[in-house]
Structure 1
């Protein structure tokens, strides 16, 4: 679950084809993802020949290994500058039963005119779904504004697409999740607590999780809206880059 991305390592990573909603088409093509120049990259391209109007062709990369708390993972990422989520997340399960930690779902160029904070906001959250419980799904946000970094942090006012930023999460235990941005604590969440610290569920994270990177979009306002199709033909903005990912587990000395 650590890689400097000097070459594609199929013993560590694989590509999947669960598409999300329209217009996303997840592809295993080497035109949409790969490793070169010391980066894992994921590119969104225009393909209007895909079925069901899935013209946003892109990719998702999973780690083969899984890990659990206590652990810390971080990655150095430069965002694609299109209206889409550039993601780095941990997951195990499906829509009905899963534990999920979204380290980032960042959109540097929302098109909907309804998410003015997105170019400055590190979108971080958790989900847990259990179809045997009520409510089935619990979630909470730990979003953080890059402008709230220390004044001495050199990346404080640098856009997600303008340079590489280092994003991380310290998964402390079954309840506590602390996010990091460029070496500083960012947002945090406690499983089963609301944003005011009130407990509404005793549920815990219990699954080992894999690392996932992907690039995807949707017309919904919560994501920031769809990019113009012309952006997908612009190779200067349509690609997400991951310089490295590094993952540690806590061990007794």
Structure 2
């Protein structure tokens, strides 16, 4: 019986080989003939895998330049359990904030509240046991970025009064660029207040700090709260910043230029950086957080709201980084 099965398999293989070499068959490329035959379904899957890299960068790389993909980028197409992230995650990310601070407001950043699953980095919120604090996730890149650089993430804002964030911060906490800071919920139960104004906007801004005595500058113009009628929690959206130089930032949402901030009067009118602007290398930070200015006004999730895990999960499909380089 085993011999008969083996003969049958050989015959099938020979028939398949003859069929492939038939003159009636559609010609294949030399590369296809050298490797495995790819079915239409596999071709589609391959395109999806590559798409996050090949989506055109919306910013202009400059005359004579092209965008070069940076390996610090991450598609999160792997599993990294909350309690043991693994080597692939650990190669690029520190599983916490960039120092030992546990977070603002009622935030309690915990390593077991970030994970990678289902092709997404996920930041999950819940109530800390026996406390009014909220457990949340936060990760920091192991490599820093510095201008000129384009950074873009594909994110799904959490349907909560908590902040969903992708941002940059210098090692000494004096310079910050907020790529996305968003609050997805349209209503706060504890504050009994409508939050649609925030649910319809993405905060895109930057900060210049002096730490002692503490001073904080950020632009306060209407353009720092981007709105186009979208409820940002309802779907994935791409958010990006082109940090072109110390005095020029361009923000992109879903591939469209949403805001440009440039010049001394917009970047550092108080001269906190002594005329140098946004010049310091920065860490990439991805996190969810409660913020003091909101929780002090009771705009923070109730226990009932926190029971809905999906609403209180910030998701990042991918983050990609490009540098402009001279074209060959």
**Structure 1 residue aligned with 2:309:** 235
CA distance in 1, matches of 2:157, 2:243: 24
Which SS does the other structure have where 2:161 is aligned? coil
Gaps spanning 5+ residues in structure 1: where?
148-155
Alignment of 1:124-203 (within 5 A): 124-131=204-211, 136-141=215-220, 142-147=223-228, 157=230, 159-190=231-262, 192-194=264-266, 201=271, 202-203=275-276
Q: Is the 8 A contact 2:92 2:142 kept in 1?
A: yes
More helix by share: 2
Alignment of 1:82-121 (within 5 A): 82-94=160-172, 97-109=173-185, 111=188, 112=191, 113=193, 116-121=196-201
More strand by share: 1
**Per-residue deviation at 1:21?**
3.0
Using structure 1 for the length normalisation, give the TM-score.
0.83
What is the count of residue pairs matched by the alignment?
A: 234
**Per-residue deviation at 1:229?**
1.9
Cα distance, 1:114–1:54 mapped onto 2, change above 3 Å: same
Higher Rg of the two aligned structures: 2
Alignment of 1:44-83 (within 5 A): 44-49=125-130, 53-83=131-161
Q: Is the 8 A contact 2:245 2:279 kept in 1?
A: no
Gaps spanning 5+ residues in structure 2: where?
1-71, 81-88
Using structure 2 for the length normalisation, give the TM-score.
0.65
CA distance in 2, matches of 1:42, 1:99: 24
**Structure 1 residue aligned with 2:20:** none
CA distance in 1, matches of 2:181, 2:280: 21
Higher-RCO chain (CA-CA 8 Å, sequence separation at least 6): 1
